[in-house]
Structure 1
Amino acid sequence: MIGPGGVFTVNTKHHPDGQIWLAGDRLLVNGRARPYIRNARHEAGRAAKLLEAAGGRPVAVTGLIVFVGTDSVSVRDVPSDVWVVSQRKLVPFLAAGPVLLEPAEVARVFALARRSDTWQ
């Protein structure tokens, strides 16, 4: 996802009526540890590396995990580089964020992201 609020890799997780608990890098779904934070961090890092290689300058990419089917996300502590939200809170989360990219930069990164050779 690319827009004024930045560049995000979006990882959706469907856990109907699941109980989500987040404490830094530890994320539990119904009491069971899941590697979602680690995976989102890896995906964002890979996207940043490939976008930089394609465009010749750094692109900050943030991992975003969106839970679908549950609004129960208990947060004790947030990771420094991955955001976790429920589907219903996604739009308010994005709308409340700061403007990080000017329209020309959004267009530049979008053009890079659309190229298939960027991801190879």
Structure 2
Amino acid sequence: MDVWVGNDMVKINHGESHPYVRKSRSEAARVARILERGCGYPVVVKPLLVFVKPARLDKASSLTGVRALCERDLAAFGPLSGVLRPEQVEHIYAVARDRRNWPDALQG
């Protein structure tokens, strides 16, 4: 499958446009708000689109605010050094695990 990622959309095999980029930005902003409310301090959430085994992944040069990559590139995130202290990581993780912080998850 060929994937093209533009400013607000994704096209797969040159087909119709899907709003994955725009939705990814929106979901990241929503998650940041929920985590910040639960943690009591700013939590940076960066949107990421991961495509599994595309034959080709092309990104528009103007794509900003969202990372798009292949699943094999996820390993590159492991060695990144963070800006959070270990106790902050644990706190954010605890807030993220608590279903009560995710109103949509409680439905259904």
Q: Check whether TM > 0.5.
A: yes
Partner-residue secondary structure (3-state), 2:25:
helix
Q: Which runs of 5+ in 1 are unaligned?
A: 1-17
Q: TM-score, normalised by structure 1?
A: 0.73
CA root-mean-square deviation:
1.9
**TM-score computed with the length of structure 2 as normaliser:** 0.80
2:41 aligned with 1:53, yes or no?
no
Do residues 86 (structure 1) and 70 (structure 2) align? Answer: yes
Amino-acid identity (%): 30
Cα offset, 1:117, TM superposition: 1.2
User: Match for 1:35 among 19, 31, 41?
Assistant: 19
Q: Which has the higher strand share?
A: 1
Dislocated runs of 4+, deviation >4 Å: none
**1:34-79 CA-partner distances (Å, limit 9, x unpaired):** 1110111111111011111112221111111111131511123253
Partner of 1:95: 78
CA distance, structure 2, for counterparts of residue 96 and residue 82 of structure 1:
20
The structure with more radius of gyration = 2
Count of matched residue pairs? 102
1:69 paired residue among 39, 44, 53: 53
